[in-house]
Amino acid sequence: MELDLRTIVLILGITHLIQVVVFYYQYRLKYTYRGIGWWLLWSVAESIGFSLVLLRNNPEWLPAVIIIQNAVIVAANVFLNVGINKFVGKPLNFKIIIPVCLVFMTVFAVFLFIFDNIQVRAAAINVTIAIFSFLSVCAKAFMGRSMKKYNL
């Protein structure tokens, strides 16, 4: 059995759509946590970012689609990081978030328009996502204090 790109995008889209429905249902039940809106933004942005893969078949749209898709996926990871930080009660550190995003976009643009190298672009997005994942994990240190309110 082989999975093609469209199947993976469909599975990711369905998964994120289910998450959006769950977040909406929690909102309607008035059973929300701090940061849940940011998680919703993460899920919507991830869905949009991965759905843009399907527009890569048109050569005249390709550079714009690549830039928008990767920017949206990185923004989604920023949204998730902000949501986790808000959930655990940790203050946001924009001194890390903004430079990481600026370095990513610079490296990405250079290796898209000047030195067209997909391996460096893939490494740049993966390193950026890894940095935001690490920052989200670091928020766990604050988790103990904020979870006492919710009896979790």
What pTM does this model have? 0.81
Query: Which pLDDT score, from 0 to 100, does residue 105 have?
Result: 93
| Measured distance between the N- and C-terminal CA atoms of the chain, rounded to whole angstroms | 42
Query: Which pLDDT score, from 0 to 100, does residue 10 have?
Result: 81
When pLDDT is averaged across residues 82-94 and rounded to a whole number, the result is: 85
Per-residue 3-state assignment (H helix, E strand, C coil) for 20-79: HHHHHHHHHCCCCCCCHHHHHHHHHHHHHHHHHHHHHHCCCCHHHHHHHHHHHHHHHHHH
Which residue type occupies 127? V
pLDDT surpasses 90 at 130: yes
Query: Which pLDDT score, from 0 to 100, does residue 145 have?
Result: 52
26 versus 42: which is more confidently predicted?
42
Query: Which pLDDT score, from 0 to 100, does residue 2 have?
Result: 67
When pLDDT is averaged across residues 116-137 and rounded to a whole number, the result is: 91
Structural domain of 139: 5-150
Query: Which pLDDT score, from 0 to 100, does residue 76 have?
Result: 93
Domain count, the chain: 1
When pLDDT is averaged across residues 31-42 and rounded to a whole number, the result is: 81
